[in-house]
Amino acid sequence: MSRWKDCEAPSLAEIEAMAEAARALLPEAFQASAAQVVLRVEDVAPDTFLEELEIDDPYELTGLYEGVPMTEKSIADPSGPDVIWLFRRAILDEWVARGDVGLNELVAHVFVHEMAHHFGWSDDDIAAIDRWWE
C-alpha cells in the first residue's frame, strides 16, 4: 500500500482535460456541434440535479447533459448553451469499484454518453450500441 502514499486523485482540471481529449476524437461530422457544448466538471452533482432526477446518492451520477437535444432545437428557442456536467468523485468511485477500465477510458465513456444526449439519443438508444455495464 505504501506505493500509493504519495499519489493524489486527479484534479477537476485533469478530468476536464481527459474529457476534452475525448471531444477531440469525435468524428469530424460531429466536431462543430460538439464544440458548442460547454463542459463543466465538479466534484459532485448539485443537490438540485439530484432532487430533480430523484437520486439519493451523489456517487450514482457520473455525468449529466443539460440542454435541448439537437433533434428538438428550434431557432426560435431562446436557450443558453448546452452543458455537459461530469462529476469527478462519482467517476473516481466507479473507476475504483470497476477496477477493469482505465480512468481516461471511463471519463471518455461518460463524456461521449452525455454528448450522445446532445445529439438526441435516448439512454435506450445508447444502451443498444454501448453495453458498457457488461
The CATH number of the structural domain formed by 9-69+79-129 is: 3.30.2010.20
In order along its 134 residues, the chain shows pLDDT tens digits of: 556 677 788 999 999 999 999 999 988 888 898 999 999 999 999 999 999 999 999 999 999 999 888 787 777 766 778 999 999 999 999 999 988 899 999 999 999 989 988 888 777 777 776 655 55
What pLDDT score does 3 carry? 64
- C-alpha R_g of the chain: 16
What pLDDT score does 29 carry? 87
pTM for the predicted model, two decimal places:
0.87
- 72-79 contacts at long range (C-beta below 8 A, 24 or more positions apart): 72/120
CA distance 47 to 53: 10
Domain regions of the chain by residue span: 9-69+79-129
